Structure 1
Amino acid sequence: MHPLDIRLAPAAGVCWAATLVGILLGWRAALTTALVLMLFAAAVLARARTRRAAPAVLAVLVIGAGFALSIAWRAHAVATHPLSSTDDGGHATATIVLSDDPKLLRANGGAPFGGGNRVVVHAQLREVRTAGRTIDVGGAVVVLAPADGWLALLPGQRVEVRGRVTEPLHRDLSVATIRATGPPSSVSEAPMLQRFAGAIRHNLSDTATRALGSDSAGLLPGMVVGDTSGMSDELLTDFKVAGLSHLTAVSGANFSILLGAVLLAVRGLTLGPRAGAAIAGVALVLFVVVVRPSPSVLRAAVMGSIGLLALVTGRRKQALPALGGAIIALLALFPSLAVDFGFALSVFATAGLIVLAPSWADWLRARGWPRWAAEMVAVASAAFAVTAPIIVGMSGTVGLVSILANLLVALVVPPVTVLGASAAVLASIWSPPAVLLARMAGPPLWWMVWVARHAAAFPGATMTVPGGLAGASVAAGAVALTIVALRFGITRRLLLAIAIGVAAVLIPVRISNPGWPPAGWIFVACDVGQGDGLVVSTGDGRAVVVDVGPDPSAMRTCLDRLGIHSVALLILSHLHADHITGLAGVLRSRSVAAVALGPMKLPAEGFRSVVETTAEMRTPLLDLAAGDRIDFPSLHLRVLAPLLPQPRDPVEAADSANDQSLVIAADTPAGRLLLTGDVEIAAQESLLRAGVDLHADILKVPHHGSRNTSNAFLAAVKPRLSVISVGADNTFGHPAPGLVSQLESLGSAVARTDRDGDVAVVMTGSGVGVVGSSDRATILS
């Protein structure tokens, strides 16, 4: 076995680290990094005669310093950009060129946010008009806009957009976020190549729709060109939980399959290596254009180009140097990839396949495994091992079924990819054979959907663990220890026995006696202490969350017990700590489509905390206001308040945050819920004056049962059940005894999280019931 050539690995690592420093810490930190690296280089140069490795070390330090200087220049340009000096929330008109297709901001269930669908658009600035001046300027921007007029745009089109200029959503070298107020204007024609690519994508989607069932029709374009717009939210979530979402991201594996098919066809035509390389190179460029340059595709394209160069020059291609060269080249051209989780996953997965998979496959074959089985298991296991720490750090979850799910679909991925790509080419030339090829892909597509659905539904398909840097470090240590332990026979047998024992105990228990939550639950008030954490079901494993309590671990634990793996929308009623501090516990442990806020963005520290946490997790922030409607399967939300004007004085406004809470009416199979945040008497009276229909079957009592609730408001609601989210032995005297007595006098049952634990509203055979988790006692039936 030839030793691995790791000479480019240190250089790639140093370049990546230097780029990260500049993007995350700013241009001053990048300049400092460059200076430190140059000082080390000078020290190495001074002692170069006495050290054989000095030239290699010197080269790494010099290229690292070069990257640090380059990213310092770029970061300084972002920090001093004209839009950076624009007042946050000020309006501007910008001329932009789209960098990618507009992406619909999804809510599971297809719900529109804030009264209408919205899109996110990545673009490059060309000109900005603000405060009476026009500036010719570049820079990357992100546009959040109503979907109307945007969805049909293609990369390369030049448009004008008017909107509010705010801070960038993420630290990724973008200079600003533009929150558009309407459709684009002055729309130019897309470049010919992008029109060609758009036609291929559209024709493939149309062919799949005519040839296949709905799920398979949405999956085929996702696998071939990365277009997931036809996939339902449920199917996307199932693929993510099952660990199969990489199949719809057009990863390097898809590229390798297609390039391999092209080279095989070229070999069949008995063409020479130079002609074959030229044809494969053209296919590479067209593939990148059609699928759009996602991080994994760019990585695969650069790596493939290095391989083509080796083919033309007659030199032996080695995969690890090619990967190192790909990292360096991509970061030089697109430095924002340094903070892209998809790029990191792609790089580490490829490194795992190069470094770990071959030796693991050899080990299995030496013990009698067939070659095909050994390679499949080795590839899936290596990919899981090297990407698990990144996934843990990013999401705080570990997929326990992903290896098995990937093994089950591994054999059908290549034929689906080749058949789909062939159908995409033919669909623009002659439709009937394209439809035939798409139908041939139908059975393997059905199999992939079946595996994803059943894997995602398996009890304990994902396990919640601490996320962030600490969680990733622990996961990396656990993976490394496991790999070392598996080298010894006694530890292999011990780990196998433990795994079998745990599975034998937990799986039957989870299937036959799931315990909490009770079957048929519709709404749960989580016991998060002195705060609110509310969950409304939208389907199996999916929910809308309203407020997240004061403790991330308490909110995460509640959602874990409910089996929630996907949050269609997370609403924060207002920005007090007892309603928002648990945000990280939700965002880091499951899929969250978006976080929605009311009009009040005070207290400032609360708003800043929410912005930073959502930016870290790349979760969109949306605005809600009175009158907005949001619809999900079996759940319909209507925003009733706030109706009171916001005080102009910032101190007075912050003090009135409770009365600026979002009040939401939720129509569910269990009846109407009224979710009231912390509204007090002034906000309650504004709702009564406005003649708003407040009647509800279930009331989330305002402000943890505070005495600042009017009897007229309670009488207008007249709930059958009142739920008070309150901490045990709190120092505020919540809930007020007089309030509880008033509710009982109205004929309402009262459930309290301090006494009953998590409170669940359930559908039973005879109607609606309410159960507490502390003793599983029925509160109302």
Structure 2
Amino acid sequence: MPDLARRFATVTAEVEVTGDPRLSRPRVRGDHTAPVAVLVRAEVRAVEEHGGASARTRTPVLMVVDAEVPAPAGSTEPGGDGDSARASVSAARGTPGGRAAWLGLLPSIRLRVGGRLAPASTGGGDRKAAVLRVRARPEPRIVAGPSRPQRLAGRLRAGLREATDGLPADARALLPGLVVGDTSRITPELDEAFKETDLAHTLAVSGSNLTILLVLLIGPPGLAQLVERRGLAPRLGLSLRATALFAGALTLGFVIVCRPDPSVLRAAVCGAVALLALATGRRRSLVPALATAVLLLVLYDPWLARSYGFLLSVLATGALLVLAPGWSEAMRRHRMSPRLAEALGAAAAAQAVCAPVVAVLSARVSLVAVPCNLLAEAAVAPATVLGFAALATAPVVMPLAKALAWCAGWPAGWIAGVARTGAALPGAEVDWPGNWPGALLLAAVMVIAVLAGRRLLRHPWWCGLLGVLLLLAVVQPVPLARRITGWPPPKWRFAMCDVGQGDATVLAAGQGAGVVVDAGPDPTRVDRCLRQLGITRVPLLVLTHFHADHVAGLPGVLRGRTVAAIETTWLEEPVEQAEFVRREAAERHIPVTRAVAGEERRTGPLSWRVLWPPPAARLHSSARTSPVRPDAVPEPDGPNDASVALLVRTGGLRLLLLGDLEPPGQQALLRSPAAARLARVDVLKVAHHGSAYQVPELIRLAAPRVALISAGVGNPYGHPAPATVAALRAGGAMVMRTDRDGALAVGGEGGVSGELEVTRE
């Protein structure tokens, strides 16, 4: 398989699905989002090269299924299980038919597909020897349905999803992930929040989930062999050995329902070793149980030796067994309450041991991981127990399952709220070298911090002072950050955020308020910028057009802020991005209106006039009746030429914001009645990231004192064009750009003699 992949061979393969299909994360490429595909973990059992030899094998691959690939057809053989397999797709809702069918495939289903192989990426330790991009021809076929245990597990998981349908968005997405590791509803934004706060382990079913269920059955492990044992087992009259057998069956069912992922297998094998010790009456030792689990699992599946998820799972468990008890005892000796000491010791130990590996994977260190884990820990157990109760009752009594899911939704919503709040803090994470030398450096820092922490525990005042300093570093209050960094400047009126290759700008509209023009391509970066500027209220969000580099960051603008209205252009292209904006607005009940040339509005110290685009009716009328008239308005040549252009006044400053207007739109703007208002502006937001396609007459008419360009570092388009920068400077403008200068803020006074202040972040 790797040899075929290196040759990008076209093959026909028989594959067995080994994991839950999932959608790829949407990524912005230029002005569009990359198409979302279905990703399926599978094993190739037989492969035949086009026009070549065939072979039987057992090789893990990642199948990539694009939107145009049809749903796999059922088996045409007598007694085939294609129909039953195809029936399992009902769980995948809200997606096109073919994609929904692929998302509904269960592990153990066998398919015959055609496609092209490609080499697998070497990083991340993923379990795949190649990537198989499935083609529409030959038509994919189901050759064997899922096994009975997987079919039962699929029904249970589908029942849990149905039971959670009526919950709030975060709880609906998170609860199946907490209970059975079903992350199909987790949005990229929520997933990123869990990663930034190091709470991602709650989305991967692990030993903690199984421990909660076993403790519910056998009570505290330390009392499991004693007469005074607790839990449900003694109340049900189960003997010690019957309890072990029952717990073993529970563990097996847990693995089947939650899928045999590395963390689930590690938890199950470790639990099985402990249960064997319980059944034989021998004294248990959890560290040897963990070591045995690791040894058996790596011998059974050597791919786990390359899995970062498995490594983190084992490290965290080892830290809880080896370090956490001693750290908790040390804190109890310094008069900390036992429960708080135990929780803090566990969270700190797991974070200290896992942080170097996390730094390698994400090139950052979370400063809020320990408090966020402490706050979330109390909600994990009730959410898990109630969620499993809903899972078990859904096939029998759905109303009861919905009631249990509603109860579980409260702690699940709390966990999601902790993740979102922690990730939103300005200093939630610190950049760190994402390599093994960086990991060794962080490990050394952790060792020094632990050694210093022992001494600090003897000096409560120093502990309190360091805690306050850490809190200030994480929260970064705007007045304090302004004094230390000079950003944002105290009297800024216009700011251009550094969001990479895209646009996001802000007009100050009073204390904590700002009119936002475009949202950029990245929700995290625009949210960070707005938080640094202290923006909590957005009277109006203007999306100049629907290209992804202007609207994909919309969730970041909406995160934790009051947005009164959204205004857009009338040309709703690309269609998928326009639908995305409408969907995000509808979920938060935000009205969406269309900007029309001539519209004038005011809020706080701001006033502005919409210069472009004219009403759609006028465009179409001009095109029909007078296509050759010099003042006729041309049809927009794509979304860029339908961009909303604004002339803004604030504190004596005049700002011209041109969106992504191309030369035809710029020329039409020059011929419009609004042209007389454009002479000698103070600030020009250069159109289309400073591309080479500019109208020199418009630049000469505007004659800006300052020209600001939003462009990404090393972008493949060559933005800004040297010719555009030269033309702006020749007209007397000071040119500043985000790819070199970072975020920019403008203040001061307008007019020829007024002082204009431009500040870099």
Task: Establish whether TM, by shorter chain, passes 0.5.
Answer: yes
In the alignment, structure 1 residue 178 sits paired with structure 2 residue 167: no
User: Which of 537, 544, 566 is the matching residue for 2:521?
Assistant: 544
Deviation at 1:281, TM superposition (A): 1.0
CA distance in 2, matches of 1:259, 1:360: 25
Q: Which moved more, 1:663-672 or 1:467-476?
A: 663-672
CA distance in 2, matches of 1:424, 1:395: 34
In the alignment, structure 1 residue 197 sits paired with structure 2 residue 149: no
What's the counterpart of residue 128 of structure 1?
47
In the alignment, structure 1 residue 88 sits paired with structure 2 residue 7: yes
Q: Which moved more, 1:505-514 or 1:183-192?
A: 505-514
Kindly report which structure 2 residues correspond to 1:678-757, keeping only aligned pairs within 5 A, or say none. 698-702=687-691, 709=692, 723=709, 736=722, 739-740=724-725, 742=727, 751-753=735-737, 757=741
CA distance in 2, matches of 1:755, 1:213: 39
Unaligned runs of 5+ in 1: 1-80, 527-532, 549-556, 564-590, 592-625, 637-662, 677-683, 689-695, 703-708
Matched letter for residue 42 of structure 2:
A
Q: Find the residue that maps to 2:688 and give its secondary structure.
A: strand
Whether the aligned pair in 2 keeps the contact of 1:464 and 1:560 (CA below 8 Å) is no
Q: Find the residue that maps to 1:271 and give its secondary structure.
A: coil
User: Which of 8, 15, 18 is the matching residue for 1:99?
Assistant: 18
What's the counterpart of residue 165 of structure 2?
209
What's the counterpart of residue 630 of structure 2?
none
CA distance in 1, matches of 2:301, 2:7: 27
Q: Report the CA distance shift for 1:559/1:100 in structure 2 as closer, same or farther (over 3 A).
A: farther
Deviation at 1:664, TM superposition (A): 10
Q: Report the CA distance shift for 1:367/1:740 in structure 2 as closer, same or farther (over 3 A).
A: closer
Whether the aligned pair in 1 keeps the contact of 2:428 and 2:474 (CA below 8 Å) is no
What's the counterpart of residue 466 of structure 2?
499
What's the counterpart of residue 167 of structure 1?
119
Q: Find the residue that maps to 1:122 and give its secondary structure.
A: strand
Matched letter for residue 118 of structure 2:
T
Whether the aligned pair in 2 keeps the contact of 1:525 and 1:723 (CA below 8 Å) is no
Q: Report the CA distance shift for 1:493/1:268 in structure 2 as closer, same or farther (over 3 A).
A: same
CA distance in 2, matches of 1:543, 1:230: 24
Provide, for residues 656-698 of structure 1, a one-character-per-residue CA deviation record: whole Å limited to 9, x for no partner: xxxxxxx99699888775599xxxxxxx99xx9xxxxxxx972
CA distance in 1, matches of 2:62, 2:522: 26
What's the counterpart of residue 401 of structure 1?
368
Kindly report which structure 2 residues correspond to 1:43-62, keeping only aligned pairs within 5 A, or say none. none
Deviation at 1:760, TM superposition (A): 4.6
CA distance in 2, matches of 1:146, 1:286: 33
In the alignment, structure 1 residue 218 sits paired with structure 2 residue 151: no
Deviation at 1:119, TM superposition (A): 1.7
Q: Find the residue that maps to 1:429 and give its secondary structure.
A: coil
Deviation at 1:773, TM superposition (A): 10
What's the counterpart of residue 288 of structure 1?
255
Provide, for residues 742-772 of structure 1, a one-character-per-residue CA deviation record: whole Å limited to 9, x for no partner: 4579x997733399822559999x9xxxx99
Whether the aligned pair in 2 keeps the contact of 1:756 and 1:775 (CA below 8 Å) is no
CA distance in 2, matches of 1:540, 1:387: 40
CA distance in 1, matches of 2:494, 2:298: 49
CA distance in 1, matches of 2:130, 2:530: 34
Matched letter for residue 723 of structure 1:
I
CA distance in 2, matches of 1:314, 1:382: 31
Q: Find the residue that maps to 1:488 and give its secondary structure.
A: helix
Matched letter for residue 544 of structure 1:
P
Q: Find the residue that maps to 2:336 and give its secondary structure.
A: coil
Whether the aligned pair in 2 keeps the contact of 1:93 and 1:162 (CA below 8 Å) is yes
Matched letter for residue 194 of structure 2:
F
CA distance in 2, matches of 1:131, 1:701: 48
User: Which of 434, 455, 461 is the matching residue for 1:488?
Assistant: 455
Whether the aligned pair in 1 keeps the contact of 2:19 and 2:106 (CA below 8 Å) is yes
User: Which of 142, 157, 161 is the matching residue for 2:62?
Assistant: 142
Whether the aligned pair in 1 keeps the contact of 2:364 and 2:430 (CA below 8 Å) is yes
Q: Report the CA distance shift for 1:521/1:224 in structure 2 as closer, same or farther (over 3 A).
A: farther
In the alignment, structure 1 residue 304 sits paired with structure 2 residue 271: yes
Whether the aligned pair in 2 keeps the contact of 1:226 and 1:248 (CA below 8 Å) is yes
CA distance in 1, matches of 2:757, 2:371: 34
Whether the aligned pair in 1 keeps the contact of 2:48 and 2:55 (CA below 8 Å) is yes
User: Which of 360, 371, 386 is the matching residue for 2:338?
Assistant: 371
Q: Report the CA distance shift for 1:666/1:756 in structure 2 as closer, same or farther (over 3 A).
A: farther
User: Which of 224, 231, 234 is the matching residue for 2:186?
Assistant: 231
Whether the aligned pair in 2 keeps the contact of 1:385 and 1:479 (CA below 8 Å) is yes
Matched letter for residue 487 of structure 1:
R
CA distance in 1, matches of 2:517, 2:410: 26
Q: Find the residue that maps to 1:163 and give its secondary structure.
A: strand
Whether the aligned pair in 2 keeps the contact of 1:423 and 1:433 (CA below 8 Å) is yes
Matched letter for residue 462 of structure 1:
E
Deviation at 1:332, TM superposition (A): 0.9
CA distance in 2, matches of 1:755, 1:120: 34
Matched letter for residue 370 of structure 1:
S
CA distance in 2, matches of 1:505, 1:498: 11
What's the counterpart of residue 656 of structure 1?
none
Q: Find the residue that maps to 2:759 and give its secondary structure.
A: coil
TM-score normalised over the length of structure 2: 0.64
Q: Report the CA distance shift for 1:535/1:116 in structure 2 as closer, same or farther (over 3 A).
A: closer
CA distance in 2, matches of 1:107, 1:215: 19
What's the counterpart of residue 742 of structure 2?
758
Deviation at 1:735, TM superposition (A): 7.0
Whether the aligned pair in 2 keeps the contact of 1:100 and 1:121 (CA below 8 Å) is yes
Kindly report which structure 2 residues correspond to 1:262-277, keeping only aligned pairs within 5 A, or say none. 262-263=217-218, 264-277=231-244
The size of the alignment, in residue pairs, is 559
Whether the aligned pair in 2 keeps the contact of 1:204 and 1:423 (CA below 8 Å) is yes
Whether the aligned pair in 1 keeps the contact of 2:116 and 2:134 (CA below 8 Å) is yes
Matched letter for residue 452 of structure 1:
A
CA distance in 1, matches of 2:432, 2:733: 37
Q: Report the CA distance shift for 1:763/1:105 in structure 2 as closer, same or farther (over 3 A).
A: farther
CA distance in 1, matches of 2:407, 2:529: 45
Deviation at 1:89, TM superposition (A): 3.1
Q: Which has more radius of gyration? A: 2
Q: Find the residue that maps to 2:417 and give its secondary structure.
A: helix
CA distance in 2, matches of 1:145, 1:726: 31
CA distance in 2, matches of 1:136, 1:517: 63
What's the counterpart of residue 775 of structure 1?
759
Q: Report the CA distance shift for 1:383/1:541 in structure 2 as closer, same or farther (over 3 A).
A: farther
CA distance in 1, matches of 2:43, 2:107: 10
Unaligned runs of 5+ in 2: 68-98, 219-230, 506-515, 535-555, 557-572, 584-637, 646-656, 668-684
In the alignment, structure 1 residue 329 sits paired with structure 2 residue 281: no
C-alpha RMSD of matched pairs (Å):
4.7
What's the counterpart of residue 49 of structure 1?
none
Q: Find the residue that maps to 2:113 and give its secondary structure.
A: strand
Q: Find the residue that maps to 1:257 and give its secondary structure.
A: helix
Provide, for residues 286-342 of structure 1, a one-character-per-residue CA deviation record: whole Å limited to 9, x for no partner: 111111122211111110111111112221110111111111111111211122221
TM-score normalised over the length of structure 1: 0.62
CA distance in 2, matches of 1:701, 1:763: 22
In the alignment, structure 1 residue 421 sits paired with structure 2 residue 407: no
Q: Find the residue that maps to 1:197 and give its secondary structure.
A: helix
Q: Report the CA distance shift for 1:168/1:755 in structure 2 as closer, same or farther (over 3 A).
A: closer
Whether the aligned pair in 2 keeps the contact of 1:124 and 1:138 (CA below 8 Å) is yes
Whether the aligned pair in 1 keeps the contact of 2:61 and 2:132 (CA below 8 Å) is yes
User: Which of 94, 103, 106 is the matching residue for 1:154?
Assistant: 106
